[in-house]
Amino acid sequence: MFWALYLVFGCAVVEETMLEVQKIFYFHVSSAFVAFTAYAFTCVCSLLYLIRKSEKFDALGSASAEIGLVFCTIVLVTGPIWARFAWGTWWNWEARLTSTLILWLMYIGYFVLRAMLDIDLRKTYSSVLGVLAFLNVPIVYYSVEVWQDRLHPPTNTKSQLPPSMTESWLVSWLALTLLYVFLLILRTQLVQMKSRIDVLQYDQVNR
Amino acid sequence: MDVIRQVLWLVHKDLILQFRTKDTLVLVFMFSLLVVLAFVFSMGPFFSFGLEERSKLAASVLWISFTFAGIITLTRSFDVERSDGAVHIIRLAGVDPSNFYISKVLSNFIFLTVLEFILTPVSLQFVESLDLVSVITLFKLLGILSIGTLGLCAVGVILSGMASTTRGKESLLSVLLLPLVIPVIMAGTKCTVSLLSTGTLQGTFWIMLLILYSLVFLTISYLLFEFVIEG
């Protein structure tokens, strides 16, 4: 992480038209990658939970969704700052922006649902929603793309960046992904501990 | 054969309940009418702007009011099942969860389509667009609306099945459902605008999207619904 920060602020070439603001790019794009990875992982875990009914997958899936939500929020906060300088507007209805927003809204719904349910229904229902929500993402993406013309650069522009930028970006992406894995492990342990406490408390009350 | 019989019986039961008690019927009908009126009152009494703009207004009025009507209808249709544990009785009667899902989609779809058939001409008249469209265009529009409703019901039934077990029923359902049906609303309004302003569908992308969306979510929800009922 510190290495990434050093590279981003120390080594990478300052972009000509946008100066320092361009440095958001490293964290914005990396966070977006991590958020999508996290949600894909949630979808896989949800499916596995529905098939296997193992507590472990529910803990992993919900922890991953939670971290995904944090990274998604980072994307949505840094995105408009970037957009203000690059396109001269805080927000527009471009496909990737819109689908990220809708993704964010759907996972807020995921946590509202979890908070409102009893412990036994919570796991199954949130897994069902985890699958439904993730499958909706490509549909939203393609429909918004047709709905509004695109502004984001096509995804294969990495090769046009100067080497110091590419290097910094790769390192910050790696750093954030490692951070995600680290948080995921911690959070999963926490969720498992919490459910154990719930069970113990339940036993205590009903004794 | 057994599947069709089961589904038809359940749909029959739902529709009898809807049309005999009439509380949902009146409530949803009045609600959608009031949403349309709220739109009309906020957009001003004279609709002097151009055809394109007027079609956009009509499209948004229709789709917003029917989406909200859908949320209420879906919530009510599971309220009936959850109270007094009617779901468990249906399960004990040997009904397959996926048949139960299909029957719920069908009964909500029929109910909402009837509502749309009555309310669409009225709403169009309110935004002063009815005399602009021919009868054939009106039928095409109703076709588009019913495909959109099918998509809405496909996702809505499974989410409503989940939301009905909580305290927050209606508000929770809207938080879960609205982000998921955004493609339906987008595609539906695009189709409606082009139908109202030109009389034909320009390009097949949006109508294909509507059909594809309905099919995809019907299939997935059909497979997943078992977990919602079993809990």
Cα gap A194→A206, rounded to integer Å:
18
Question: By a Cβ cutoff of 8 Å, what residues of chain A touch chain B?
Answer: 50, 102, 105-106, 108-109, 112-113, 116-118, 120-121, 124-125, 127-129, 131-133, 135-136, 139-140, 142-144, 146-147
> What pLDDT sits at residue A22?
64
A82-89 CB contacts, 8 Å cutoff, 24+ apart:
A82/A21, A82/A24, A82/A25, A82/A28, A85/A18, A85/A21, A86/A18, A87/A151
* Mean pLDDT computed over every residue of chain A: 77
**Is the CB of A143 less than 8 angstroms away from the CB of B183?**
yes
> What pLDDT sits at residue A151?
47
> What pLDDT sits at residue A158?
44
Q: What is the pLDDT along chain B (231 residues), one digit of tens a residue?
A: 688 888 898 889 888 888 888 888 888 999 999 999 998 888 877 776 777 888 888 899 999 999 999 999 999 888 888 887 788 888 888 788 888 899 999 999 999 999 999 999 888 888 877 777 788 888 889 999 999 999 999 999 999 988 888 877 788 899 899 989 988 998 999 899 888 888 777 777 888 889 999 999 999 999 888 888 876
Domain boundaries, chain B: 2-230
Cβ pairs bridging A and B (under 8 Å): 84
**Is the CB of A143 less than 8 angstroms away from the CB of B180?**
no
- The model's pLDDT over B182-211, given as tens digits with 9 standing for 90+, comes to 889 989 998 998 888 887 777 778 888 899
Q: Min CA distance, B22 vs chain A (Å)?
A: 30
Chain A CB contacts of B212 under 8 Å are 139
Chain B CB contacts of A146 under 8 Å are 205-206
> What pLDDT sits at residue A16?
47
**Is the CB of B180 less than 8 angstroms away from the CB of A132?**
yes
B8-13 CB contacts, 8 Å cutoff, 24+ apart:
B8/B103, B9/B103, B10/B90, B10/B95, B10/B99, B10/B100, B10/B103, B10/B104, B10/B107, B11/B103, B11/B106, B11/B107, B11/B110
Cα gap A192→B101, rounded to integer Å:
33
- The model's pLDDT over A24-51, given as tens digits with 9 standing for 90+, comes to 777 788 888 888 888 889 899 988 988 8
Cα gap A49→B214, rounded to integer Å:
26
Identify from B169, B205, B218, B227 which residue to disrupt to test chain A contact, counting A C-beta atoms within 10 A and taking the largest count.
B227
The CA angle B3-B8-B10, to the nearest 5 degrees, is 100
Confidence of residue A156 (pLDDT cuts 50, 70, 90): very low
Length of chain A, in residues? 207
**Is the CB of B186 less than 8 angstroms away from the CB of A147?**
yes
Do residues B97 and B225 touch, judged by C-beta distance below 8 A?
yes
**Is the CB of B162 less than 8 angstroms away from the CB of A113?**
yes
Q: ipTM of the assembly?
A: 0.79
| N-term to C-term CA, chain A | 49
**Is the CB of A127 less than 8 angstroms away from the CB of B227?**
yes
> What pLDDT sits at residue B154?
93
Rounded to two decimals, what is the model's pTM?
0.83
Closest-CA residue of A relative to B208 is A143
* Residue B40 token pair: 């009309």
> What pLDDT sits at residue B85?
79
The average pLDDT across A144-161 equals 56
**Is the CB of B227 less than 8 angstroms away from the CB of A50?**
yes
Q: Min CA distance, A175 vs chain B (Å)?
A: 31
Closest-CA residue of B relative to A106 is B179
> What pLDDT sits at residue A9?
57
Of A109, A117, A124, the CB nearest to B175: A109
Cα gap A133→B32, rounded to integer Å:
27
